[in-house]
Structure 1
Amino acid sequence: MHLAHYLGLLHRAQLNLAEAFRQVADAHQAEPDIHHLCSRQAELCDEQARRLRPFAERYAEEAPEEPDRLHSELFRGTRTGGIGLLRDLQDLYLMATECDICWTVIGQAAYGARDRELSDVVSASEGETAVQLAWLRTRMKQAAPQALVVAD
């Protein structure tokens, strides 16, 4: 069953996203909302990964390399300054989008497999990921004028 592949993909992607949120929170402590909200989002990603664990075991989780590759190619550490914050938020957005589409695909598989428990986890997590994406998009909109128009 290939569902195991996507469960492994999503599990690793969530853990990588949690770590990236932590790095951004630490790097941009001067921005109180960034530090607090990125730390909170990291905890949420950890929780989503924890919720996946029973299903990964049930479906014999495979650990594909794609999420680590995505993390290393996309997120090579944090940057400084306004433009750095904007780029870090954009990286987080792209990583969260990877998780979002994985939740969608797994949700469809759960429906096909008639796995109600997995469907419930997917439903809750899709909503949480949508909120993450909305916050990241809003925060990028807020940071863009200062970072792109006003000189440092």
Structure 2
Amino acid sequence: MNGIGLTLRALHHGERKLEKDLLAAAERHHTEHEFHHVATDLAGWSHEHRVRLAETGHHYGLDLASPHGQPSPGIMAALREVAADTLARRPETGLLLLHDLHDLYLAASGNSLYWEMLAQVAQAGRDTRLLELASDCHPQTLRQIRWANTMIKTLSPQLLTSL
């Protein structure tokens, strides 16, 4: 497998992880309605990226398609929801939210680096398929990063001083 294939595979894995993490954080903090809805929407972007990466991967001889499609919530989601309801207004919940935002920021940033690498190799190799993919998806990943960063900037002062 060449470097493009390795990067596509790593990015597919990173988008799957980010989607899963966004959905888990949305469930964990479902009492924070704005966070819950935006995180769920952003997870949809990562899901779309995974689908497009899988389609593009076929061109490079990769099978990145997930046999399961959307992750199912399962029992862990129900447990997270109960825990979120129980802890809803405790200060520790704010720290957990900041921790989740930290992890989401880092995951999206890692994906952004892979999108940038794909865009650069696409430009160098005049690969219009790869360049179109990176040009379409990378801006959404940058938006995921900005959202997490904005949430951290907004919530940190209040949450950290209320402890």
TM-score interval (norm. to shorter): 0.7 to 0.9
Alignment of 1:86 with 2:87, yes or no, is no
Distance 1:83 1:18 in 2: 21
In structure 1, the residue matched to 2:147 is 135
Identity of aligned residues (%): 28
Structure of higher CA gyration radius: 2
Contact 1:15 1:46 in 2 (8 A): yes
Distance 2:21 2:58 in 1: 25
Contact 1:17 1:95 in 2 (8 A): yes
Quick check: 94-103 or 80-89, which moved more?
80-89
Q: CA deviation at 1:62?
A: 7.8
Distance 2:56 2:121 in 1: 12
Distance 2:20 2:55 in 1: 21
Alignment of 1:46 with 2:17, yes or no, is no
In structure 1, the residue matched to 2:127 is 115
Q: CA deviation at 1:130?
A: 1.0
In structure 1, the residue matched to 2:89 is none
Distance 2:118 2:139 in 1: 14
Distance 1:116 1:104 in 2: 15
Q: How many equivalent residue pairs?
A: 137
In structure 2, the residue matched to 1:2 is 3
In structure 1, the residue matched to 2:29 is 28
The runs of 5 or more residues in structure 1 that have no matched partner are 64-77
Q: CA RMSD in A?
A: 1.7
Q: CA deviation at 1:54?
A: 2.0
In structure 1, the residue matched to 2:158 is 146
Distance 1:122 1:84 in 2: 32
Runs of 4+ that moved beyond 4 A = none
Distance 1:84 1:61 in 2: 37
Distance 2:147 2:33 in 1: 15
Tell me which amino acid in the other structure corresponds to 1:121. L
Contact 2:54 2:63 in 1 (8 A): no
Distance 1:32 1:111 in 2: 41
Contact 1:93 1:133 in 2 (8 A): yes
Q: CA deviation at 1:15?
A: 0.7
In structure 1, the residue matched to 2:74 is none
SS at match of 1:30: coil
Contact 1:82 1:146 in 2 (8 A): no
Q: CA deviation at 1:59?
A: 1.2
SS at match of 1:103: helix
Deviations for 1:103-145, whole angstroms, at most 9, x for unmatched residues?
A: 0001111112211122011012111111111111000111101
**TM-score where L is the length of structure 1:** 0.85
Contact 1:5 1:61 in 2 (8 A): no
The runs of 5 or more residues in structure 2 that have no matched partner are 65-79, 85-91
